[in-house]
Amino acid sequence: RMSHDIRTPINAIFGMLEIGKAYPDDVKKQEYCRNKVADASALLLGLVNDVLTMNKLDSGNFAAEEAPFTLPESVAEIYSVIEVLADEKEIHFKPEETVTQHPNLIGCKLCVKQILLNVLSNAVKYTKPGGTICVSCTETGVKDGASMVRFVCRDNGVGMSKAFQEHMFEIFAQEENDTNTFNIGTGLGLSIVKNLVELMGGTIRCSSKLGVGTEFFVTMPFQLA
């Protein structure tokens, strides 16, 4: 499964390079090919990173580095990346301002970013042009000296069937039906998200309806800095 998924962007890169060679003096064609090579390279890098991360998690060698970080800044960095992806696909991305009384926290900033990036990029991936993605990040309170942060992502994309939702966090899980024409990737993203959330002592919940959209609710505890 991974071999097939990794081979796809590599073939795209070779194809674009061959087209570029055939039109050495066509500036627009060269720019088009470079953009497609960049897109395919980014996809390939994402696939490889997912495989490496899942391997570390599966073997128990993944270390969540605890360090001070500023929640609003970290969240804003991810939002800026997703905004570009959404604009390219003509999707309305509506992030709410991060609400927290304790912006300075201690935790694994890399894990937080990877969790948000996976959930939000999935929302972009499975939402059609003209669709909407709403996202919020809120501190819901302090429990046992830890700030409880809740992240919510809602989209009106293709959604998931009830049958698939029972397996959605399993590795390589991808729904295959007539409404899903976005089946690109290893199917590791949600499995990685669930593993990272649980590694940090958090919870993840999903509500989805095929053809209507999906909601993800992620709650994570962080020590106060």
3-state secondary structure of 77: helix
Strand partners, 133: 93, 155
Sign (positive or negative) of CA dihedral 12, 13, 18, 20 = positive
Residue 174 CA to residue 193 CA, distance in Å, equals 15
Three-state secondary structure of 105-155: EEECHHHHHHHHHHHHHHHHHCCCCCCEEEEEEEEEEEECCEEEEEEEEEE
Count of positions (residues) in the chain: 225
More confident residue, 131 or 7: 131
pLDDT in tens, 109-120: 888 988 998 899
| Share above pLDDT 70 across residues of the chain, in percent, rounded to a whole number | 91
Measure CA 21 to chain center: 34
State yes or no: pLDDT of 107 exceeds 60: yes
| Share above pLDDT 90 across residues of the chain, in percent, rounded to a whole number | 52
pLDDT of residue 53: 78
pLDDT of residue 118: 87
pLDDT of residue 130: 96
pLDDT in tens, 18-73: 999 999 999 999 999 998 888 778 778 877 777 777 777 777 777 778 899 999 99
pLDDT of residue 147: 96
Alpha helices in 156-213 (DSSP H): 162-165, 189-199
State yes or no: pLDDT of 179 exceeds 60: no
More confident residue, 53 or 1: 53
| H helix or E strand, kind and range, residue 203 | strand 203-209
Rounded to a whole number of angstroms, the CA Rg of the chain reads 19
Q: Could you tell me if 147 and 100 are in contact, meaning their C-beta atoms sit under 8 angstroms apart?
A: yes
Average pLDDT taken over every residue of the chain = 87
- 208 pLDDT band, cuts 50/70/90, is very high
